Amino acid sequence: MNDIEIAQAVSNVLSRFTKTTSDTAPEAVSEIAQATGGDTLDAIVARALAQAPSKAPATAVQSPACEAGNGAFASMDEAIAAAVLAQVQYRHCSMQDRATFVQGIRDVFLQDAVLQGISRMAVEETGMGNYADKLTKNRVAAQKTPGLEDLVTGALSGDSGLTLTEFSAYGVIGSITPTTNPTETIINNSIGMLAAGNSVVFSPHPRSRNVSLYCVELINQKLAALGAPANLVVTVTQPSIDNTRSLINDPRINMLVATGGPAIVKTVMSSGKKAIGAGAGNPPAVVDETADIEKAARDIIRGCSFDNNLPCVAEKEVIVVNQVADYLIHCMKKSGGYLLCDKQLIRQLESLVLNEKGSGPDTAFVGKDARYILQQLGVSAPEDTKVILIETEKNHPFVLHELMMPVLPVVRVDNVDEAIELAVQVEHGNRHTAIMHSTNVEKLTKMARQIQTTIFVKNGPSYAGLGVGGEGHATFTIAGPTGEGLTSARSFARTRRCVMVEALNVR
Ligand code: NAD
């Protein structure tokens, strides 16, 4: 009996114990052991059950609450149990199998109908962002998320033999996904996490339930067609904060990945588990007098309006030296900026888009279109309006808080050093993203060193840092707080050393 057959036998027997409790689990082990009599089998089952829940260890193999193969389970407990078993089976798949499954996920989401469908659904369900940019983001997630090639083995050879350092699966990953990039994050995380040999339990934002479940279903259908173990990618039918808490607290989850705001990042980091936190940003764009101002204006408007400013990397405030401020604003207006000057309208905008405390955005306006926001003020803007520009003081709430809507405050400063200093302040130590438009290499270097962001884009739109029009791979989980940076398959793996003593070196 080979490993795959053994894993299948385990699955078959365990599926008959769907109503069992922990007391009857050993019965299952012994039945399987009798059936096949192998030590290997015992080890596999023991491992599976050791990681299984204290009650109903095998209930998720065939959950009555969901259609077979769609990956959505009625409870988090069942979803996790299914992912645990899937991971045990996945260990027995070859690297070629993994590569096939990863390619399968890419293929699903690169079909025009699927790409268009999920992009439209995401906008309609969340009420955020715009269709054309979601298409781009989903496409780039499917195309440019690294796969197995990211897992480069290290080798050391010498008189003492050969030592390999390999990227190995963490096990079962719990991934908490945001409402701002719901589908992109599921595509991106699924590819990276499966490439590294893990299974994954998604806990999506409740506001993006339907489109998230649809993505998980599409992945499951494709993986089933390719002969992958069932339930490598699962979720719950009713995403909720409670379900996310259950995911975080479940001992069967080996790693947590949170892509979202400060609260969820802090929660996973305090969980006692290995956690990757991809948190909030407030990316400043600095423009100095040496920049190509016309290009800077175009890039800032494009970056700021990309998916209606939802990406965590998108320009959230502009800091410009006095000498070129007027010309920059003039050029931004030509590129789709609408300058709001009327003081009363600005006050109305503040009370419209900020929450009651003025400490952040009103969710109702997150990811909305610039013209829609202006319409609420009774302003009818030209059709090509992409961004609302407002000149503000440096301590205005629009500057200090991450708004995630195309409302862009512009702050004037005396010189580039002051601009860099202010950019560092308003980035709040998030270590997320910053943008600078300048041809002064010394000042570019100074800003990069002082601001310490994970992404620093020079002379381009922010999204170039995501691999859209810039070199480098794509990710939608940018882990500043925990330091993995632009995550990829290796971020979801642990390194293991394999040592052959006094042999296999051929020099
Ligand atoms: P959010 O923090 O409201 O939600 C993110 C996820 O966490 C959701 O699944 C939500 O259900 C869950 N969640 C939130 N608070 C929770 C709590 N107290 N307990 C349990 N679960 C909780 O964020 P959002 O509005 O969906 O996304 C926008 C935020 O995410 C922004 O701050 C943005 O900068 C950030 N973000 C960061 C990255 C990155 O890669 N660094 C990517 C996308 C979004």
Q: What is the DSSP string of 20-85?
A: --TTTHHHHHHHHHHHH--HHHHHHHHHHHHTS-SS-TTGGGG-TTS-TTS-EESSHHHHHHHHHH
Mutate to test the pocket of ligand 1, among 128, 202, 244 (most ligand atoms within 8 A of CB): 244
Mutate to test the pocket of ligand 1, among 264, 270, 475 (most ligand atoms within 8 A of CB): 264
Asked whether the beta carbons of 370 and 406 are under 8 A apart, the reply is yes
pLDDT given for residue 4 in this prediction: 42
What confidence tens digit (pLDDT) does each residue in 49-105 have? 333 333 322 322 233 333 435 899 999 999 999 999 999 999 999 999 999 999 999
* Backbone φ and ψ of 152, nearest 5°: -85, 125
pLDDT given for residue 422 in this prediction: 98
Whole-number Å distance between alpha carbons of 268 and 255: 9
**pLDDT (mean) for 467-477:** 96
- Asked, for residue 67, whether it belongs to a domain, the answer is no
Tokens of 147: 């796969």
The total number of structural domains in the chain stands at 3
- Asked, for residue 505, whether it belongs to a domain, the answer is no
If asked whether residues 186 and 268 sit together in one domain, one would say yes
Residue 361 per-residue DSSP state: B
Tokens of 332: 């931004």
Asked whether the beta carbons of 78 and 53 are under 8 A apart, the reply is no
Whole-number Å distance between alpha carbons of 451 and 221: 44
Task: Output the domain CATH number for residue 181.
Answer: 3.40.605.10
For residue 479, give every residue at least 6 positions away whose Cβ sits within 8 Å of its Cβ, in sequence order, or none: 276, 277, 278, 454, 485, 487, 491
Using the mean position of ligand 1's atoms as its centre, give its distance from the Cα of residue 299 in Å: 27
If asked whether residues 51 and 38 sit together in one domain, one would say yes
pLDDT given for residue 190 in this prediction: 99
Strand partners, 354: 361
Asked whether the beta carbons of 362 and 401 are under 8 A apart, the reply is no
Residue 55 lies in domain: 3-62
What confidence tens digit (pLDDT) does each residue in 145-177 have? 999 999 999 999 999 999 999 999 999 999 999
If asked whether residues 129 and 222 sit together in one domain, one would say yes
Using the mean position of ligand 1's atoms as its centre, give its distance from the Cα of residue 276 in Å: 13
If asked whether residues 266 and 388 sit together in one domain, one would say no
CA 95 to each of CA 129, 344, 435, 478: distance values in angstroms, whole numbers, following the listed order: 37, 62, 39, 26
If asked whether residues 380 and 418 sit together in one domain, one would say yes
Asked whether the beta carbons of 349 and 388 are under 8 A apart, the reply is yes
For residue 364, is pLDDT > 70? yes
If asked whether residues 148 and 242 sit together in one domain, one would say yes
pLDDT given for residue 269 in this prediction: 97
Buried b (16+ CB within 10 A) or exposed e, 150-172: bbeeeeeeeeeebbeeebbbbbb
Q: Model pTM? A: 0.88
Q: Which of 298, 196, 198, 256 is CA-nearest to residue 479?
A: 256
What's the whole-number average pLDDT of the chain? 90
**pLDDT (mean) for 106-134:** 98
Instruction: Tell me which H or E stretch contains 330.
Output: helix 322-334
Whole-number Å distance between alpha carbons of 7 and 132: 44
| Pocket of ligand 1 from Cβ distances under 6 Å | 176-181, 203-206, 241, 244-245, 259-261, 263-264, 267, 278-281, 312, 402, 476-478
Using the mean position of ligand 1's atoms as its centre, give its distance from the Cα of residue 227 in Å: 33
If asked whether residues 107 and 176 sit together in one domain, one would say yes
Buried b (16+ CB within 10 A) or exposed e, 419-456: bbebbbbbbeebbbbbbbbbeeeebbebbeeebebbbb
pLDDT given for residue 263 in this prediction: 97
The residue count of the chain comes to 507
If asked whether residues 30 and 175 sit together in one domain, one would say no
- Asked, for residue 478, whether it belongs to a domain, the answer is no
Buried b (16+ CB within 10 A) or exposed e, 218-228: bbbebbbeeeb
**Nearest protein CA to atom 28 of ligand 1, as residue:** 260
Cα 328-334-339 angle, rounded to 5 deg: 70
CA 330 to each of CA 294, 297, 324, 339, 392: distance values in angstroms, whole numbers, following the listed order: 9, 9, 10, 9, 16
Ranges 9-23, 332-346, 454-468: which has the least confidence: 9-23
If asked whether residues 204 and 344 sit together in one domain, one would say no
Domain final residue, candidates 16, 35, 62: 62
If asked whether residues 209 and 296 sit together in one domain, one would say no
Q: Kindly indicate whether the ipTM for this predicted assembly is greater than 0.95, answering yes or no.
A: yes
pLDDT given for residue 505 in this prediction: 84
Domain final residue, candidates 62, 90, 110: 62
Using the mean position of ligand 1's atoms as its centre, give its distance from the Cα of residue 178 in Å: 5
Q: Tokens 């997320």: give the residue.
A: 432
pLDDT given for residue 8 in this prediction: 47
**pLDDT (mean) for 337-361:** 97
For residue 202, give every residue at least 6 positions away whose Cβ sits within 8 Å of its Cβ, in sequence order, or none: 175, 176, 177, 186, 189, 212, 216, 233, 234, 235
Asked whether the beta carbons of 211 and 118 are under 8 A apart, the reply is yes
Virtual torsion, Cα 136, 137, 139, 140, nearest 10 deg: 110
If asked whether residues 434 and 307 sit together in one domain, one would say yes
Whole-number Å distance between alpha carbons of 17 and 11: 10
For residue 178, is pLDDT > 80? yes
